[in-house]
Amino acid sequence: MIKRRIIDSFWNILTYLFSSVGIIVLLLIFIFVFSNGASTLSWKLITSDYNQTTYVLSYKDNYDGGNFEYKCKDDEYFSSYWGIAFTDTVNTEGVDSVIISYIDDHSPLLNGLLGVGNDNYHHLQVNQYVTTALLVGEEGNIISCPARKGAESMAAGFNRGVSIMTLNLVDGGGGIRGSLIATLYLILFTLILVLPLGIAAAIYLSIYAKDNWLTHLLKSLIDMSSGVPSIIFGLVGLLLFVPMFNALVGSEGYSILAGALTMTIMLLPIVISTTKEAIDVIPKKIISGSLALGASQTQTTFKIILPNAVPGILTSTLLAIGRIIGESAAIIFVMGTQVQDHVLPNRGGTTLATHIYNLMGLENPNYKLASAIAIVILMSVLILNILVKLIGYRLNKFGRKH
Amino acid sequence: MEKIFEIKNVNLYYGEKHALKDINLDIYKKKVTAFIGPSGCGKSTLLRCLDRMNDLIDNCKVEGSIKYNDKELNQYDTLTLRSNVGMVFQSPNPFPMSIFDNIAYGPRCHGIKNRKALEEIVISSLKKAALYDEVKDNLKGSALALSGGQQQRLCIARCIAMKPDVILMDEPTSALDPIATLKIEELINELKKDFTIVIVTHNMQQATRVSDYTAFFMLGEIIEYNTTNELFKNPHNKKTEDYITGRFG
Amino acid sequence: MKQTNLQTSAKRLNGKKISDMIWYRTFQIITFLCASVIIVIIAFILIKGLSPFFQTYTIDGNEYRVNLGEFLIGTTWFRHPNHYGIGYIIVNTIYCVLLCLVLAVPMAIFSALFITRIAPKPISKVLQLIIELLSSIPSIIFGLVGMGYITQGVKYVASWFGVQTAGGLSTLSVVLVLAFMIYPTITMLSITAINAVSKDIINGSLALGASKTQTNFKVVLGAAKNGIFAGIILGVGRALGEATAISLVSGNRGSGPTFSLFDTTNTLTTTILKGFQDTTGLDYDIRFSVGVVLILLIVAINIILNAVKRRVGAKL
């Protein structure tokens, strides 16, 4: 007996050990992603461009100086001469920078800065980064204010200068707005394509198709494509859809539309099978009831079957969205890895997932930004999963699968 | 006659429900005792107390004393108890393994590894269960390929392989056809030479055919307990008489 | 009165019949389209993938055509000039997947056993949620964490053995990332399989005096093995097809094969992915050939595994 207990305990301990792996892995992922990304994640990140715009500006005239007043917050340094305040901050790459935190309404800098080399007046905005500034003092001396010296020294330097030779501004950078919009476009276009096609096929297979070898063949063929790895879909998309959209819409290469088509053929099996399950669950007697009342098959389909299959259709939609958000390999091939700030359906771009891939491929992989994006993806996936579960519990009128 | 089980003042509760009420009963060694009565009256519940299979059910509370060989049941280690008190279930439950492995399972779990020893055990158990002749050429075949009656005899053989003192049978023939039922009843008559048998049955005639003692249960109580002959010829309690004459079922 | 009713009835009926016909045909055509997707995929990949072997390419003024034999057995993958050998990549791929199974399968089976048979209900529910969550995490995030944590870890461990690694990019990293990725898949299917084992058999084993642990390992796992194997097959499919996550931690080896855990490696999928941005001509087409080999490998392994599954299932 004791020997039995010892052996049993041994196996039990092994079981406990191996099971904790799952938790450990999840913890690893969350810790990494949150520790690196949480600090970077912000509303600004979500709404700014990825690529930075650099402005080189100047204020050529001598300025007599206003006597601006401003109550500085902590870390803010104010130049009363020009009516502008600076703050030390950390940019999206984690580098110490100086940012414009306040501009007085009467400050000459608000609309008075002229672009060097062109005739455009620049509208100065809060939250633009100053990388460096060269001012001219009263005696004609040059005052240099690089960002690395900090906001305090910059404000002091501004106070001594009467005109600005060059002011280097950087706007935006490290934002994921482009990727976010591209992802949403991709989801929209894919759903527009895959839902009607998938539901139509599910209806045919559940209701109209006769039980013969042809139907079995059709079902097998559709199932088979769910075993194909996504990278192959990427290759096919590259081969078929990219040239197709080149001809149709005039894009030169990658495009979101091609991506939508690729995701469509990838997601058809799952939409079809989930919808089919939802239709199969509807009791045959309800369908018979409708037909017995003289409704045509079409009327029955649209009035009885589809409305009752809505939970399944919703589920497949959510599953599809989840797959789209997470897909990377196929999209790289048809949408490219160039992050776009101005997203158009006939141009390529990155989705959130491929943006991460892009960041990892840089010389210095940007873990912080990638982790921030990962947080967005994880949260979306989590919410989608919860929604699927809720639909499963609440809306299933005809009995649950589990 | 020697008593192998002494059941005194046993009350059993499934949560709020009082399923067994003040049970007092003695089971005699190497005899066949039958529990009869209408559905849901506690027969199987009491049977499951005897090998502590009720321990596996949440919310089940047992009060009172059950002694096996003069020692309280809960003083026994469950693994030892169950190797001495075996159980055959209502619908046959062979493991998805070969016939040989099914029967060797119990002994293997208790440490017998020697190939020859296992073979001896398997063959003798199959013979005692009257199944050997039908399967001797195919011991490696799947147990699930046997007919219902054969599967039940396999389960009995599997039970016998543990060399228990007691075999508990919970309606063992209710899922079988009449011929298979007959075979099992003949088997029981043979087995009682070596084993104590307690059998729960829905079928009164089966009780008269195989058992030495019969207890009549109703709504969780024992209404009457006597030798089978006495109980069926001269029932002392009116309810017993009504049941065995078929006035209610 | 009656006649009008009949007439309108007839018209309506005809209208219904026509619309029925139209919809029927529409649905049917769409279904055929959906079913033809797989055929189109295979056809196009085959056509493009076979072209390096039957077509000559002009690179830098020289003509090249890839020799099929050298391609299949070759041990190097270079772009200039034409030194494309996929043999070693196939070996590396199978090696990585095998190792990852060695890790993932025991973890998954034990976890499934724990969740369904051993853990108390509340813990079991929480664990199951965790596993479900894990299985829906996109692979790119596994790649991200792989690059961040796992490569560092491997670098550290390698230094114990005194071995140099390419910044942690190694076979071991690939194996770990793959194992973590397919572990939830196998676990979830095993949980379903174990839950489906009939209570009768479990009670039968307990009634014979077997302990809970013995019952779990001998009877429950035995009865669930078909479902567990199906989970393994699914996991293998996922591992073979994984591209982006592995390409971040593999290091992309140019020659091989390699069996050392700390060497860089590559797989069929990373080969397709690598350097994809600026390729033309032969280098571009050859990726489709790799795609063909990948599909063939997946089909072959599926057939083998399914045959094994049938034999294991039949032995009962």
* Contact residues on chain A for C241, CB-CB shorter than 8 A: 228-232
CB-based contact B96 C201, cutoff 8 Å:
yes
Give the distance, in angstroms, between the CA of residue A224 and the centroid of all CA atoms in the same chain: 30
Quickly list H helices, A75-210: 109-112, 151-160, 177-203
Q: Residue A146's beta-bridge partner residues?
A: A132
Q: Residue C274's beta-bridge partner residues?
A: none
For residue A197, what pLDDT band results from cuts at 50, 70 and 90? very high
Would the pLDDT of A402 be above 50? no
Tokens of B39: 């559905």
Tokens of B203: 């079928």
Asked if B75 is an interface residue toward chain A (Cβ–Cβ < 8 A), one would say no
CA-CA distance, A272 to A203, in Å (whole number)? 9
Q: What are A33-48's pLDDT values in tens digits? A: 888 877 777 777 777 7
Rounded average pLDDT over A12-16 = 86
Tokens of C285: 């087409």
Q: How far is B1 from chain A (nearest CA, A)?
A: 32
DSSP sequence for C25-87: HHHHHHHHHHHHHHHHHHHHHHHHHHHHHHS-EEETTEEE---HHHHHH--BEETTTTEE--H
For residue C213, the chain B residue with the least C-alpha distance is B109
Residue C60, Cβ neighbours under 10 Å: how many? 7
Burial degree of C186 (CB within 10 A; 0-12, 13-18, 19+)? buried
Distances (CA, A) of B194 to B69, B89, B191, C192, C203: 16, 20, 6, 43, 25
Q: Residue C84's beta-bridge partner residues?
A: C77
Q: What is the pLDDT of residue A232?
A: 93
Q: What are A125-152's pLDDT values in tens digits? A: 887 888 888 888 888 888 888 888 888 8
For residue C215, the chain B residue with the least C-alpha distance is B109
Tokens of B52: 């502590």
Asked if C233 is an interface residue toward chain A (Cβ–Cβ < 8 A), one would say no
Chain C interface residues (partner B, CB cutoff 8 A)? 198, 200-201, 203-211, 214, 218-219, 222-223, 316
Q: What are A221-260's pLDDT values in tens digits? A: 998 888 899 999 999 998 888 888 878 776 667 888 889 9
Asked if A5 is an interface residue toward chain B (Cβ–Cβ < 8 A), one would say no
CA-CA distance, A332 to A124, in Å (whole number)? 37
* Contact residues on chain B for C218, CB-CB shorter than 8 A: 105, 109
CA-CA distance, A98 to C187, in Å (whole number)? 51
Pick from C22, C141, C154 the residue to mutate for testing the A interface (most A CBs within 10 Å): C141
Pick from A3, A4, A11 the residue to mutate for testing the B interface (most B CBs within 10 Å): A4
What interhelical angle do A367-394 and A352-360 show, nearest 10?
Answer: 150
Residue pair A122/A115 in contact (Cβ under 8 Å)? The answer is yes
- The pLDDT > 90 percentage for chain A reads 19
CATH superfamily of B3-244: P-loop containing nucleotide triphosphate hydrolases (3.40.50.300)
CA-CA distance, A306 to A289, in Å (whole number)? 15
Range with the poorest average pLDDT among A120-129, A184-193, C27-36:
A120-129
Asked if B138 is an interface residue toward chain C (Cβ–Cβ < 8 A), one would say no
Distances (CA, A) of C221 to A276, C193, C218: 32, 9, 6
CB-based contact A374 C40, cutoff 8 Å:
no
Tokens of B198: 């307690």
Q: How far is C316 from chain B (nearest CA, A)?
A: 5
Residue pair A16/C114 in contact (Cβ under 8 Å)? The answer is yes
Q: How far is B48 from chain A (nearest CA, A)?
A: 23
Comparison of pLDDT for A29 and B198, the residue scoring more: B198
Asked if B166 is an interface residue toward chain C (Cβ–Cβ < 8 A), one would say no
User: Which CATH number is C68-315 given?
Assistant: 1.10.3720.10
Could you tell me which residues come within 8 angstroms of residue C243 by beta carbon, excluding any fewer than 6 positions away? A229, A230, A231, A328, A329, C269, C270, C272, C273
For residue B109, the chain A residue with the least C-alpha distance is A4
DSSP sequence for B161-187: TT--SEEEEESTTTTS-HHHHHHHHHH
Of B61, B74, B47, B64, the closest CA to residue B18 belongs to B61
Q: Which chains touch B (3 or more CB pairs under 8 A)?
A: A, C
CB-based contact B79 A3, cutoff 8 Å:
no
Would you list the domain boundaries of chain C? 2-54, 68-315
Q: What is the pLDDT of residue A66?
A: 77
* Contact residues on chain C for A358, CB-CB shorter than 8 A: none
Whole-number average pLDDT of chain B: 90
For residue A201, the chain C residue with the least C-alpha distance is C31
Residue pair B243/B224 in contact (Cβ under 8 Å)? The answer is no
Q: Which of helix, strand or coil describes residue B198?
A: strand
Pick from A1, A2, A3, A11 the residue to mutate for testing the B interface (most B CBs within 10 Å): A1
Whole-number average pLDDT of chain A: 84
R_g of chain B, CA atoms, integer Å = 18
Pick from C8, C31, C215, C250 the residue to mutate for testing the A interface (most A CBs within 10 Å): C31
3-state secondary structure B3-50: EEEEEEEEEEEECCEEEEEEEEEEEECCCEEEEECCCCCCHHHHHHHH
R_g of chain C, CA atoms, integer Å = 27
User: Which among A203, A228, A353 is the nearest to C140, CB-wise?
Assistant: A353
Please list the helix, strand and coil fractions of chain C in percent, rounded to the nearest 5, in that order. Answer: 75, 5, 20
Residue pair C166/C147 in contact (Cβ under 8 Å)? The answer is no
Burial degree of C107 (CB within 10 A; 0-12, 13-18, 19+)? buried
Q: What is the pLDDT of residue B21?
A: 92
Distances (CA, A) of A102 to A68, A72, A168, C26: 12, 9, 17, 63
Residue pair C48/A239 in contact (Cβ under 8 Å)? The answer is yes
Distances (CA, A) of B160 to B35, B192, C209, C290: 21, 12, 12, 61
For residue C220, the chain B residue with the least C-alpha distance is B95
For residue A3, the chain B residue with the least C-alpha distance is B111
Of A198, A225, A262, A298, the closest CA to residue C31 belongs to A198
ipTM: 0.87
Of B191, B165, B194, B1, the closest CA to residue B76 belongs to B165
CA-CA distance, A368 to A173, in Å (whole number)? 14
* Contact residues on chain C for B121, CB-CB shorter than 8 A: none
pLDDT averaged per 10 residues, chain C (length 316): 54 76 91 92 89 74 71 73 78 92 92 89 88 89 88 85 80 91 93 92 90 88 90 92 90 78 86 77 82 91 89 67
Would the pLDDT of A198 be above 90? yes
Pick from B75, B79, B80 the residue to mutate for testing the A interface (most A CBs within 10 Å): B79
Number of A to B CB contacts under 8 A, please give it: 6
CA-CA distance, A60 to A119, in Å (whole number)? 13
Would the pLDDT of A185 be above 80? yes
Residue pair A297/A346 in contact (Cβ under 8 Å)? The answer is no
Burial degree of C20 (CB within 10 A; 0-12, 13-18, 19+)? middle
Of B240, B20, C294, A304, the closest CA to residue B10 belongs to B20
CA-CA distance, A125 to A101, in Å (whole number)? 9
Residue pair C213/A5 in contact (Cβ under 8 Å)? The answer is no
For residue B111, the chain A residue with the least C-alpha distance is A4
User: Which CATH number is A52-171 given?
Assistant: 2.30.42
**Window A:250-269, CB contacts with C under 8 Å:** 265, 268
For residue C224, the chain B residue with the least C-alpha distance is B96
Q: What are B72-118's pLDDT values in tens digits? A: 998 988 888 888 999 998 888 888 889 999 999 988 888 888 999 99
Of A30, A17, A6, A15, the closest CA to residue A375 belongs to A30
Asked if C291 is an interface residue toward chain A (Cβ–Cβ < 8 A), one would say yes
Q: What is the pLDDT of residue C30?
A: 94
pTM of structure: 0.81
Q: What is the pLDDT of residue A400?
A: 46
Rounded average pLDDT over B178-184 = 91
User: Which among C206, C210, C219 is the nearest to B56, CB-wise?
Assistant: C206
Q: How far is B71 from chain A (nearest CA, A)?
A: 19
Q: Residue A56's beta-bridge partner residues?
A: A168
Q: What is the pLDDT of residue A165?
A: 85
CA-CA distance, A114 to A119, in Å (whole number)? 7
Q: Residue A135's beta-bridge partner residues?
A: A143, A164
Domain with CATH 1.10.3720.10 in chain A: 177-394
- Selected from 3.40.50.1950, 3.40.50.2000, 2.30.38.10, 1.10.3720.10, the CATH number assigned to the domain covering A177-394 reads 1.10.3720.10
DSSP sequence for A132-165: EEEEEETTS-EEEEEGGG-HHHHHHHHHHEEEEE
CB-based contact C144 A224, cutoff 8 Å:
no
Q: Which of helix, strand or coil describes residue A77?
A: strand
Q: What are B120-173's pLDDT values in tens digits? A: 999 999 999 989 999 989 999 988 899 999 999 999 999 999 999 999 999 999
Buried b (16+ CB within 10 A) or exposed e, A127-153: ebbbbbbbbbeeeeeebebbbeebbeb
